[in-house]
Structure 1
């Protein structure tokens, strides 16, 4: 297998007792740190109407992060395309690629990143687009990115300017066989969200590879997986840190996307039987431990998926512990750092 690459997915979480402004500042500092440590790419997420996640405008955050970093690819993980005009997204990411050549990723997804009322607000004046329209949106987005709209298309005279020397790298994000099949059909790289679900994950990636059809942009399948990881100097400390995320993730199932609770709140929380079942269900796919433990488990998981890139999601209430986790991972996998 090729040398393992580590990347970052940052949902810009708000910690209990802190502000969204501070969360965004923490995203900037983490990007600068992981850039120095040798991480391959840094993706920021899209969520709306949330007091716990601040990434409502990934395209703005990407522009800022790309200007603050030097080596990493910077991109979206991902833009929820169903809310938007493919033409406008192509314009935005062509602009980003023109400003930062060879460093911009456009990850797209089908999930709303919001509740249904917020989805209506995002599609102001129109009905939110559903799954049936999504393939057409992807088709049009790829055409605009390549500046090659079909002659029969009513928008064939429209160009997504500025047109960079090469388009941004396009990734399809998902956690289902339908998303994998769409990525295979359109011939794009595919990122499987293991941190959301691990149900049939390796089989889904195998399906993607079998059905992959080369496109004008990509001749071969390419994939990575998003994984939740906490790495600490001791296993006890890692498990303790993970308690915050466990409680936060359990609350998400009830629609509560609030701030990340402290370890003290998480450890004193009394889970109901149903909540404890949910907590265990989510926690079983997390990788939590010492650098040696995390490296072994992560390497085994990558081998099972037959990929060489892990996009790491790390959420802790202690911001120093979060940064330390990425530092320990970089050391464990011997990433090439820069001063």
Structure 2
């Protein structure tokens, strides 16, 4: 049985505000919990005019308080910016407040431009080569497995509690998958970032997985953009704003948030722009409920996974809510 979850980046629509984006994120979490979605993750982006979520830990706490039983987590904490010990303590606090409901998803992307990275790390630039060690450190703090020969032997991440957050490694490449496999961690592949080669990456993760105290068998999620409409035509119309938003982002053009459908339809696209939009559709599923369901089912077989994390960005919040409702109904959640 396929499970559906949500990754929400608190997108700011053109003409809207960050406060409204956060309000929509909370409303969305409450609605998708009623619809039967499994988990709800929020992201980390810095110095962004189009994505409001810069502190997933704070937003997780608020969303968990506003919902009842759905798992809530980070998608993810950009670990190279931070102390593994502090990340572990933050998520132990969350787990203590909301037992058996918290997910810690960690990634190594900067989540912003180099100036934001410099500001976050304040001159203590962390090499990406240290990322596997950081992952191991977070895991050992969360599970009280600090070895005696470790430079922080006998250190406890407090509060000391009987349960641990579920730890997930996020990635869009084979390298991230191999780190997750060697650590025995669960792995979430970001097809919404990289539309190519995902099934091969997941196969390698599953084959190379080494059991650990994080997990005894591989566990995976695939995250993908989805726009579901009442009809294929309606879905295509709604998705045009996401097409333009991604295009402008990859061209390095500043925007004032997710553009409207009207802006997208009136935009002057070059031949190369249209080529890029077509290529970026590898990161998305767009269509009516039956066609979207069919594509997710086919991807489930290709990835050998049973859980999909849906990323939906639209200009109008009503279109976003309806997309998640249509999808939930199609899968009989």
Please give the range of the TM-score, normalised by the shorter of the 2 chains.
Answer: over 0.9
- Alpha-carbon distance in structure 1 between the residues aligned to 2:170 and 2:157: 23
Aligned-residue offset at 1:275: 2.1
Select which of 105, 108, 133 maps to 1:107: 105
Aligned equivalent of 1:69: 67
* Aligned-pair Cα RMSD in Å: 1.0
Residues 1:152 and 2:149 aligned together: yes
Alignment partner, residue 37 of structure 1: 35
SS of residue paired to 2:315: coil
**Residues 75-84 or 292-301, more deviating:** 292-301
Deviation at 1:276, TM superposition (A): 2.0
Separation in 1, partners of 2:283, 2:271: 20
Greater alpha carbon shift after TM alignment, 155-164 vs 105-114:
155-164
Q: For structure 1, which segment, 272-281 or 181-190, has the greater mean C-alpha deviation from structure 2 after superposition?
A: 272-281
SS of equivalent residue, structure 1 residue 23: helix
Give the distance between the partners of 2:254 and 2:72, measured in 1 at CA.
25
TM-score (norm 1): 0.96
What is the correspondence of 1:71-110 to structure 2 with a 5 Å cutoff?
Answer: 71-110=69-108
Partners of 2:304 and 2:153 lie apart in 1 by 39
State how 1:184-333 maps to structure 2 within 5 Å. Answer: 184-256=181-253, 258=255, 259-333=257-331
Preserved contact between residue 195 and residue 282 of structure 2 (Cα < 8 Å): no
Task: Tell me, yes or no, if the aligned pair for 1:52 and 1:257 is still in contact at 8 Å.
Answer: no
Q: 1:97-176 alignment to 2 at 5 Å?
A: 97-124=95-122, 126-176=123-173
CA distance in 2 between partners of 1:34 and 1:312 (Å): 11
Q: How far off its partner does 1:307 sit? A: 0.5
How far did residue 56 of structure 1 move? 0.2
SS of alignment partner, residue 169 of structure 2: strand
Superposed CA deviations along residues 222-248 of structure 1, whole A, max 9, x for unmatched, are 001001101111111100000000000
Q: Is the 8 A contact 1:90 1:144 kept in 2?
A: yes
Number of residue pairs aligned between Structure 1 and Structure 2 = 332
TM-score, normalized by length of structure 2? Answer: 0.98
**1:284 to partner: Cα distance:** 3.3
Is 2:195–2:280's contact at 8 Å kept on the other side of the alignment? no
The correspondence for 1:25, drawn from 23, 26, 38, is 23
Question: What's the offset of the Cα at 1:254?
Answer: 2.3
Question: Of 8, 11, 16, which aligns to 2:9?
Answer: 11
Give the drift of 1:257: 6.0
CA distance in 1, matches of 2:286, 2:195: 16
Per-residue CA shift, 1:284-335, capped at 9, x if unaligned? 3311111111111111111111101010000100110100000011111001
Q: Please give the per-residue CA displacement for 1:198-244, whole angstroms capped at 9, x wherever unaligned.
A: 22111100000111000012000000100110111111110000000
Cα deviation per residue 1:118-177 (whole Å; 9 max; x = unaligned)? 1000012x3321211111111111111111211111211321101221210000000000
CA distance in 1, matches of 2:249, 2:113: 12
Runs (4+) of structure 1 moved beyond 4 Å?
A: none
For residues 230 and 175 of structure 2, what CA distance do their matches in structure 1 show?
39
Counterpart Cα distance in 1 of 2:327 and 2:125? 40
1:89 to partner: Cα distance: 0.2
1:37-76 per-residue CA deviation (whole Å, 9 max, x = no partner) reads 1100000010000010011000000000000011210000
